[in-house]
Amino acid sequence: MNSPKDILTSRQLLVILISTVIGVQVFIMPRLVVEAAGRDGWLSLVLGGGWALLAATAAAYLASFFPRQTPVVWFSHLLGKWGGIALSLGFGCFFLFVAAEVLRLFTDMTQTYLLPRTPSEIIMITFLLSIAYVVCHGINPIARVTLIFFLFGIIPSIILIAVFQGKVNFGELVPVLAGGIAPVIRGFLPAYGDFGGWGIIVFLVQFMDTPKEAVKGTAVGMAVIWLFFMATFIITLAAFGPIETQYLLYPVVDLIREMEGVGGFIEKLDLIFLSAWILSVFVTLAVCYYVAVLAISQLAGIKNIAVPVYVGLPLVYLLALLPQGYKAAEGLVGYLNYTSFIFSLSVPLLVFLARRKIKQGGVSDGEQT
């Protein structure tokens, strides 16, 4: 069970979900999807985003069966002791690697655009210590920080994409399916991977004051992310075309640079966008690391997560340094996409088992929403 002070509202869950999933992936998403699917990448995003939305909503529905209970408890209830331990450990390790991947991509982008002379080690350590301070205080401070950063980070980013003013040619999106359905299928996993952060829902619903609202909040949040990624991809492709997009390291940054200043009054929009992005990455890393530490702490029976938070920092740091070059770092993204997809396949099974337990009376009335 969780402390009564650890409470999330449906609005906070919505904001955390949007802020976490958008994160850092949006900057490389158009290139990764175009490399796999070409100009039909938007169809891959339709499929990948749709599957992620279903998986996330189903996960929220599943977690709502067990209000104020940790997934560690109900995983074991559904899968048995060792099955529950394995799945809990899997989620914990997954988000630990996600945190390392986000940290690495953040560091690479920061060195490229903002701090080219600053050693990567300094950037990583400074950012990790800032993250640890917030994570140590639990989900409520994280939720409050996320709301502030959402207002000043995510919303401005969405507005910049929505009001894009630049040279675009939507003819770059046609012909559709010129290469058949195969490219769309190849692009499914990279497209789905952009939504892979949905797994945080499994561990956050336990903090909600009204778990029944988790399903609606999750569905709305994933739909917003889906539309944002679709708009970002389509505008990027229309601005650069499929060939040039493949050779842009961070296509969305180049897209913002193509924007015309608002009435000639606001210039250097890329710097504004990158400043907003830093806030978004802070939230993504904080939430992913919190979920990783939470899963492992609950599995080990540790009530105070402060010690695991600081003990885990060197591991995240070393994992972030492990890939040699940005290509190797993006290779890690591919493995994480596969892992997230496997988790998504497990959700329907867990829902089925939970429903069967309820029918058999294996879940008490207090555990149902």
Place of tokens 């991947």: 101
pLDDT digit string (tens) for 77-118? 899 989 999 999 999 999 999 999 999 988 988 888 888 898
| 24 vs 336: CA distance, rounded Å | 14
CB-based contact 40:206 (threshold 8 Å): no
Answer whether 29's CB lies under 8 Å from 194's CB.
Answer: yes
Q: Is 185 exposed, middle or buried (0-12, 13-18, 19+ CB in 10 A)?
A: middle
Task: Indicate if the pLDDT at residue 358 is higher than 50.
Answer: yes
**CB atoms < 10 A from the CB of 315, how many?**
13
Of 32, 175, 56, the C-alpha closest to 105 is 32
Confidence check: pLDDT of 59 > 90? yes
Query: For the segment 222-237, what is each residue's pLDDT rounded down to a tens digit?
Result: 999 999 999 999 999 9
Closest CA to 218 of 350, 57, 51: 57
pLDDT at residue 267 above 70?
no
DSSP label at 267?
A: -
CA 136 to chain centre: 20
Q: Residue 365 pLDDT > 50, yes or no? A: no
Is 80 exceeded by the pLDDT of residue 25?
no
Sign of CA dihedral 44, 64, 70, 16: positive
Q: Which CATH architecture has domain 10-357?
A: Up-down Bundle (1.20)
| pLDDT at residue 173 is higher than 90 | no
